C-alpha cells in the first residue's frame, strides 16, 4: 500500500504511476488461443472434445456434453431456503432494474415528409461464459443472463468447464432461475470458439459475454467481430472517497471487498482527514487476518492499495476521473455534490450506507463494469448489449424530388456515378 498526500512534492509523478499501473497479466496466450480457435473452427465437436479432455480432464462422451434443465431445476429446488430467497430477491431486483433499460423505437415524419426511425430487436442467441471452480459465481450468471432474457434473447446458452466432471450447484440453480436454455460442460478458449463458430451439437450464437481467465478473455478478443462481445475485462478496482466521519472499519472492509477478489485488484481511499487515513490503514491490517481470503487480500492491498490525503474531497474528484474507476463510493452525508463532479466511473455508490458489495448482488444495477480505466469510454453490461438497432427510411416521390438533387451533387463529387444515377433516374426532372 502506498500513502500519498497531494501536498507532497512528488505527488503528481506518484499518482501518474498509480493511474498507468499495468496490472494486467502479460501471459503470452494469444498464439495458444489462435491454435485452439482454428482447431474448433475447422474440426468442430471433435476439437472441443479433445481440448476438454486435455484441459479439464474428462471425456465428454462419458460425462455427457450437456447439463439438462431438469438438473438445474433440481439444484435450485435443493437450495437451503435462506439462500434460495436471497437468489430470488437478487434476480427480481436485477430484472426490475434492467427492464428500465429497454430502448424505445422511433418512427416519425420530418418536415419534408420523410419517414425516419429506428427499431430495436434482440439478437437470436447469446452465450454466457461461466468460469469453473472458485470463480464460479451465481451472481455473475444472473448479471449476464437476466439482461439477455430481458432483451428478448430466445436462445440463451451457458458454457462452463467442469474440471474432472465437478459441477457448481449454486451456478446451476442460478441458471434455472435466470431462464438459461442450454448448459454445456465445456470451458476455456475452446468453449468461446464453439459459441462463435458453432461446433456440431453446440450451435453458434451472436453475442458472447461473461468473465473468464486470460485464455477466455483473449479468445473473446479474437472472435470479436464474428460475434459481439462484452468489454475486454481487466483487473478491477474500487475508489472510496470518504470524510473523517466514517467508521474506519466500514471503509476498511469496503477496500478489502475488492482486494479479496484477486491479487491484481486496486483499492484506493481518498480522504481529507489524515488521522482517519491512519485509522483505516490500521483497520485494514486488523481485518485481513480474519478473512478466509487473507492471502489474496494481503497481496493485492500491499501491491496495489493506496491511501491518498487530499485538501478537500472536491479536490479529489479530478483525480478520481483520471482513475476512471470501476467502482466509486462516495461515503459522505450528502454525496450529490461530489457525484455531480464525476465524469468517468463504471458505477457510483452514494452515501455511508451503500457499500459496493450491495451492488454486486441484490441492488439491481449490473456488476459487469468497465475496468482498467475503460470507464472513460465504456459502460456496464446492459440490455443493449443483447440488442441491435435497425434504422429505416421512407421517401415519397415528393420528398425524393426535394432531397434528390443534393444527393446527386454529392455522389458526383465523391466519384460514385451509380449512386447518383440511382437517385437521378427517379427524379421527375431526371437531371
Active site residues: 326-327
Pair 153, 126: CB distance under 8 Å: yes
Question: Is 419 annotated as a binding-site member?
Answer: yes
Per CB under 8 A, which region of 13-21, 175-183, 193-201, 334-342 contacts a second copy? Answer: 334-342
213 labelled as ligand-binding?
yes
Burial group, residue 27, by CB count within 10 angstroms (0-12, 13-18, 19+): exposed
Nearest Cα neighbor of 324 from 266, 281, 250 is 266
The number of C-alpha atoms within 13 Å of 284 and in the hemisphere containing its C-beta is 28
The answer to whether the annotation marks 412 as part of a ligand binding site is no
Q: Please tell me the distance from the alpha carbon of residue 165 to that of residue 1, in angstroms, as a whole number.
A: 40
- Name the β-bridge partners of 207: 126, 228
- Contact residue for a second copy among 14, 253, 278, 303 (CB under 8 A): 253
Residue count, binding to a second copy (CB under 8 A): 122
For the CB of residue 60, give the shortest distance to a second copy in the complex, in Å.
27
Residue from 26, 418, 429, 430 binding a second copy (CB under 8 A) = 418
289 part of the interface to a second copy, by CB under 8 A: no
Q: Which of 67, 72, 75, 90 binds a second copy (CB under 8 A)?
A: 90
- Return the number of other C-beta atoms located less than 10 Å from residue 236's C-beta: 22
Question: Which stretch, 51-59, 176-184, 271-279, 289-297, contacts a second copy (CB under 8 A)?
Answer: 289-297
Does 304 show up as a binding residue in the annotation?
no
Does 292 bind a second copy (CB under 8 A)? Our answer is: yes
Which residues in the 104-123 window bind a second copy by CB under 8 A? 106, 110, 114-116, 118, 121, 123
Q: Are strands 327-331 and 266-271 parallel, antiparallel or unpaired?
A: unpaired
For residue 215, state whether it binds a second copy (rule: CB under 8 A).
Answer: no
List Cβ neighbours of 414 (8 Å cut-off, separation of 6 or more): none
Q: How many other C-beta atoms lie within 10 A of the C-beta of residue 259?
A: 29
**Which region, judged by CB under 8 A, interacts with a second copy, from 60-68, 189-197, 246-254, 302-310?**
246-254
Element at 66 (helix H, strand E): strand 66-67
Q: Note whether 56 binds a second copy by CB under 8 A.
A: no
Annotated binding site for Zn(2+): 258, 261, 360, 419
Amino acid at each position: 500500500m502506498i500513502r500519498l498526500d497531494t501536498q507532497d512534492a512528488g505527488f503528481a509523478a506518484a499518482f501518474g504511476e498509480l493511474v498507468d499501473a499495468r496490472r494486467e497479466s502479460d501471459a503470452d496466450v494469444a498464439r495458444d488461443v489462435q491454435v485452439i480457435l482454428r482447431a474448433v473452427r475447422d474440426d468442430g465437436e471433435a476439437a472441443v472434445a479433445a481440448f476438454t479432455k486435455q484441459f479439464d480432464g474428462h471425456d465428454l462422451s462419458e460425462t455427457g456434453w450437456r447439463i439438462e434443465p431438469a438438473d438445474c431445476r433440481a439444484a435450485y429446488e435443493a437450495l437451503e431456503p435462506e439462500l434460495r430467497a436471497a437468489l430470488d430477491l437478487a434476480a427480481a431486483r436485477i430484472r426490475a432494474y434492467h427492464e428500465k433499460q429497454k430502448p424505445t423505437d422511433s418512427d416519425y415524419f420530418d418536415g419534408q415528409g420523410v419517414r425516419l426511425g429506428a427499431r430495436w430487436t434482440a439478437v437470436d442467441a447469446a452465450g454466457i461464459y461461466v468460469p469453473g471452480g472458485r470463480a464460479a459465481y451465481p451472481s455473475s450468471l444472473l448479471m449476464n443472463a437476466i439482461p439477455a432474457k430481458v432483451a428478448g434473447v430466445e436462445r440463451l446458452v451457458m458454457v462452463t468447464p467442469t474440471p474432472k466432471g465437478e459441477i457448481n450447484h449454486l451456478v446451476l440453480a442460478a441458471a434455472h432461475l435466470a431462464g438459461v436454455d442450454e448448459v454445456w460442460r465445456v470451458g476455456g478458449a475452446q468453449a468461446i470458439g464453439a459459441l462463435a463458430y458453432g461446433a456440431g451439437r453446440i450451435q453458434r450464437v451472436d453475442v458472447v459475454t461473461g468473465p473468464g481467465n486470460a485464455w477466455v478473455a483473449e479468445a473473446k478478443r479474437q472472435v470479436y467481430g464474428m460475434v459481439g462481445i462484452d468489454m475486454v475485462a481487466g483487473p478491477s478496482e474500487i475508489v472510496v472517497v470518504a470524510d473523517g466521519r466514517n467508521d474506519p472499519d466500514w471503509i476498511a472492509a469496503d477496500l478489502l471487498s475488492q482486494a479479496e477478489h484477486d491479487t491484481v485488484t486496486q483499492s484506493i481511499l481518498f480522504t481529507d482527514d489524515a488521522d482517519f487515513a491512519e485509522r483505516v490503514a490500521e483497520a485494514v491490517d486488523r481485518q485481513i487476518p480474519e478473512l478466509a481470503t487473507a492471502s489474496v487480500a494481503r497481496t493485492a492491498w500491499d501491491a496495489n492499495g493506496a491511501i491518498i490525503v487530499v485538501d478537500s474531497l472536491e479536490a479529489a474528484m479530478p483525480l478520481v476521473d483520471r482513475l476512471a474507476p470501476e467502482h466509486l463510493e462516495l461515503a459522505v452525508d450528502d454525496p450529490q455534490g461530489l457525484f455531480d463532479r464525476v465524469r468517468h466511473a463504471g458505477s457510483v455508490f452514494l452515501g455511508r450506507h451503500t457499500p459496493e458489495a450491495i451492488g454486486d448482488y441484490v441492488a439491481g444495477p449490473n456488476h459487469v463494469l468497465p475496468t482498467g480505466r475503460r470507464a472513460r469510454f465504456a459502460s456496464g453490461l446492459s440490455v443493449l448489449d443483447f440488442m441491435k438497432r435497425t434504422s429505416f427510411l421512407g421517401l415519397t416521390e415528393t420528398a425524393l424530388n426535394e432531397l434528390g438533387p443534393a444527393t446527386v451533387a454529392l455522389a458526383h463529387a465523391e466519384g460514385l456515378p451509380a449512386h447518383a444515377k440511382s437517385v437521378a433516374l427517379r427524379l421527375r426532372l431526371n437531371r
